[in-house]
Amino acid sequence: MKKGQVTIFVILSVLIIASAAIYLVYTRLPAGKTASREVSALLPEFAESGNMIEDCLGNVLKAGVEELGLQGGYMDNSGLKKYDYAGLDVTYLYYDEKSYLPTTDEMAASLEDYMEANAPQCQSVVKNVDFTAGNIKDVNVYIRETSVDAEIEWPITFRKGELTSRVDLFRASKLFRLGAIMNELTGFMTVQVENPDEVCLSCLIDAGERNSFVIDIDNMITTYVFDIKDASASGETFDFVFAHGY
């Protein structure tokens, strides 16, 4: 075999391998999806602007989770029974021998709506750079044991002179242990529904000790008000507050 033929075969082999790699990358993506460009992929000239938007989205997520926590896991508790606790409308998660504890999926869906409604305000943090923001395509929120995480599919193209760079996916995360709190409350409510004549205060106290939560309990004669406090690794405190009839 001549040297020229060997060179051609080598080039063809490289092309075949490269094509196969590209095929594998794209065929492993979900149907209708393409690889999203994240903030880390922006040109250096636009990295600060992208990070500013992502930081702002983190603040939006924080505000949403905090509001959710103060209302017993509900963004909108207008249709639920509430207890006036020092001016705070605390949601009853148990009364008349029935649990009203929301699921983590329901809470995640509420936070997704909140993020989609409030994310556009983060455009205002960008200064001295031209950009075009498209519509928010999708928001996914994940309530995990040790954090609440969000992915926001939002195409934004930055421009400066002849340079352009685009981002399609932003991420936000808060180290609030909402998932751990919900796991403990699910067990607590199961015991309560099975034994409606007594409130298992020791169940919550034990849960606090297991997870290093601080749990404040106020007894208002026919209602307990519980405040589960979680101090995150970042030093921020998250409160999950709810009322409990008995």
Hey, where are the domains in the chain?
A: 1-34, 39-65+109-174, 74-103+177-245
pLDDT at 206: 96
For residues 89 and 246, what is the distance between their CA atoms, to the nearest angstrom?
18
Question: Is pLDDT larger for residue 3 or for residue 224?
Answer: 224
Buried b (16+ CB within 10 A) or exposed e, 179-209: bbbbebbeebbeebeeeeeebeeebbeebbe
- Identify the helix (H) or strand (E) that includes residue 116: helix 104-118
Residues 6+ apart with CB under 8 A from 233: 175
Name the pTM for this structure: 0.84
pLDDT band at residue 235 using 50, 70 and 90 as cut-offs: confident
Residue positions counted in the chain = 246
Q: How many CB atoms lie within 10 A of CB 238?
A: 23
On whether the CB atoms of residues 204 and 53 are closer than 8 A, the answer is no
64-77 in b/e form (b: 16+ CB < 10 A) is bbbebbbbbbbbeb
pLDDT of residue 34: 40
202's tokens? 């020791």
What does the pLDDT read at residue 36?
61
pLDDT at position 210:
96
With a pLDDT cut of 90, the percent of the chain lying above it is: 81
207-227: average pLDDT: 96
Summarised one tens digit per residue, pLDDT across range 25-84 is: 333 334 433 446 999 999 999 999 999 999 999 999 999 999 999 999 999 999 999 999
> For 141-160, what is the mean pLDDT?
97
pLDDT computed for residue 232 by the predictor? 72
Run of H or E residues at 95: strand 88-95
